[in-house]
A and B are shown apart, each in its own frame.
Chain A
């Protein structure tokens, strides 16, 4: 598993760890039942704070991506497709909101935006 922490990213470090592990799970790189490195080992290997890795794991567990076995460690949970779908839906909504926020600076109306979208979509 590759985890790369960037200091120049606007994302907090725990989010970077969290999202990279999440992507590895979603893409199948990490399979259900795979063990994750301990919070402490991961922190020391990445040279980041233990508090941060713990937070990342806590968030992943809350979101259902991993689960903890007491005294053993953290493992990848069963891929919950509807969960992922929901997450991606939220992402799409966020992107849409950003578009709507920036559009006025180019003088784009709603119709013009939809038109642009149609063009790009059909390029595929």
Chain B
């Protein structure tokens, strides 16, 4: 799988600089909407990699090389997790650091909201990757945009709602943030595991 990851990194290397710029920029902005965008944008990286693969018909060649179907699938997920993770890390760091430079106070609930958005980004990945494996990037693109639109609205809507909720209720409720984070992690992991299973099954069947 290392070979596959290397391939994607080399393929995306030019893009990556732009991506990183975007992600960092948007992560640092103290606006939830921007942060959400960064996370969702990060989730798009695997799709770009898949598109390049499709253009050169790499998959036909890859099936004849000693890669297991699992590695071929997993490499795309790892790419996605990594880039979302990066956005998450940058965003969280920004939230922790900016209070040192500005009047903003650090709100623990901020981290929670960001974490939820990150989880939703991962779940979006989990929903769309199997679709891409099934239909390819070109055909899947339409479905992808629809799903992305729905989820983006949901995520942004949630973020806005959560923001207001957090603002209003941080004083009233004693949210046990670590537990919530753990729960998020577990749920995301479970959905991802399921998604990987589905994708591998699709790839196996796709030897058609």
Q: Do chains A and B touch in the complex (CB under 8 A)?
A: no
